[in-house]
Amino acid sequence: MHKESSPSVTEIETHGVERIPDADRTARPLDLFRLAFGGANTFATCVLGAFPILFGLSFWQGLAAMLVGLLIGSLLLAPMAVFGPRNGTNNAVSSSAHLGVHGRIVGSFLSLLTAVAFFSLSVWSSGDALIGGAHRLLGVPESDVAYACAYAVFAALVLAVCVYGFRFMLLVNKIAVVAATLLFVLGIVAFAGDFDPSYAGIFTPDADRATRDLFWPSFIGAALIVLSNPVSFGAFLGDWARYIPAETPRRKVMGAAFLSQAATVLPFGFGLATAAIIAEQAPAYLDPAAPNFVGGLLAIAPAWYFLPVCLIALIGGMSTGTTALYGTGLDFSSVFPRLGRVQATVLIGVLSITFIFVGRFGFNLVQAISTFATMIITCTVPWMIVMMLGYVTRRGWYDPEALQVFTRRQHGGRYWFARGWNWRGMSAWWTGAVTGVLFTNIPGQFVGPLGDLASGADISLPLGAAVAAVVYLALLAALPEPRAVYGPEGPRWVRAADTPVAPITGPPGGDRVSAPSRTPA
């Protein structure tokens, strides 16, 4: 059978959040791996890997916290990959099935805010590394003008790639994954002679009681910071996975998402190991009040590694920036359908670039954005829990036409619920998010009203997720959803109600009843 060729990488993508036609869905799970891993294989991830050392842990304690956070975060992320192939659209649109066709804007704005925050952190960290390396290598002055030029170059390149769309972004990440990985491996050679795994941290046997009491809060806090990195991709996986054919086995799609984050043990480990060296040789750069990981890395690096540092900064900034900004433009176009994907991407790109320059040169917002990103993740995890449990109770059955009601400015359909809002999913999300915020404990940045109840440990993410799960399942059991939202096999774990569903009305096509998906669960 003849197979249509894939579009050229230089052909500007025209698809928005409408279901991707089957003929255009030629991506593979490997492509999903490349995009998700490429977006995390950067200096921004190395900075997160340094946090266990910043929290006072030894190298081995920090490694344990890193592996725990990475494993749990990767397991949480993996199920979010199944919605794209199943529905041919992004995860925010797929959330219409569980939060209602209007409630889906929660996912859109969560992904938008997450993308802006992580895009900003990536551009700042990569720009700083690029200028720092160029200063050591070529004598480029570390001035505001130099930093502004670096940020502008990153922003322009990222915006150009995102405008071209998925295929071009995939090409960039194919190159970035290999190149950045090789450069990080080269870094192992650069720092191997200075690395000492016996770095003890502050929680030594002879530490005082007050210090020892801080061990578990520090360990948990470090693990949660690592966990936040894979979780940050939860709202975006559908942006890329929607190009994977629907018949692709779920285990392969989930496996690609899991492995993409498990592989970030490389940049996380690089950050952890080099932070331990910095703590020994240049501890001033790891002052908790004003940490400067990039500066410390350059201070301990051999001269021949300055060029690889610049290349990692350029490649990593491109990779993370494109994966973040692409999803932002796509989601914004879904919230305001009058804007196409390209127009929305340009608009959000300009706003993000403005935000980066104002934040970097007008205010000291780096720490504030770090806190902002953590708070967004705290609110995103309950949303992910609702999506996952919704998928299980629906047996993976969705109606692609009803999912697009909001985008097409229509009314009715299986996911209309109460005027476009499914208060079961919405209630589970906001109660979980509020609980998480109340129990957040980020020392020196933000401590919620109940943040000290766990002896200083930050339990916001696990507690918020647990509350969302309990509330959602309880509401589904006590107040069943209409039978029409479930597939031919009916619901799993919960009951269904014989409640009528209004037909879809409005453009295009006038009044019609939505057609169910024929894809098997």
pLDDT of res. 337: 61
pLDDT at 122 over 80: no
| Cβ atoms within 10 Å, residue 145 | 8
Question: What's the whole-number mean pLDDT along residues 214-226?
Answer: 88
Question: What's the whole-number mean pLDDT along residues 357-371?
Answer: 62
pLDDT of res. 322: 74
pLDDT of res. 454: 83
Return the beta strands (E) in 304-366 as ranges. Answer: none
Instruction: State the pLDDT confidence band at 359, using cuts at 50, 70 and 90.
Output: low
pLDDT at 114 over 60: yes
pLDDT of res. 364: 52
pLDDT digits (tens, 9 = 90+) for 80-92: 999 999 999 989 8
What percentage of residues in the chain have a pLDDT greater than 90?
A: 44
- Burial label for 417, CB within 10 Å (0-12, 13-18, 19+), is buried
456 dihedral zone (left: phi>0; alpha: psi -120 to 50; beta): left
**377 near 225, Cβ under 8 Å?**
no
pLDDT of res. 202: 92
Which two three-digit tokens encode residue 438?
């109340």
| 104 DSSP 8-state letter | T
pLDDT of res. 290: 67
| Cβ atoms within 10 Å, residue 208 | 7
pLDDT digits (tens, 9 = 90+) for 392-426: 999 999 999 999 998 888 999 999 999 999 999 99
Distance (Å, whole) CA 183 – CA 86: 36
Instruction: State the pLDDT confidence band at 360, using cuts at 50, 70 and 90.
Output: low
Q: In 3D, which of 80, 33, 66, 54 has the Cα closest to residue 267?
A: 66
**106 near 290, Cβ under 8 Å?**
no
What is the pTM (predicted TM-score) of this model? Answer: 0.86
pLDDT at 4 over 80: no
For residue 504, the cross-strand partners are: 512
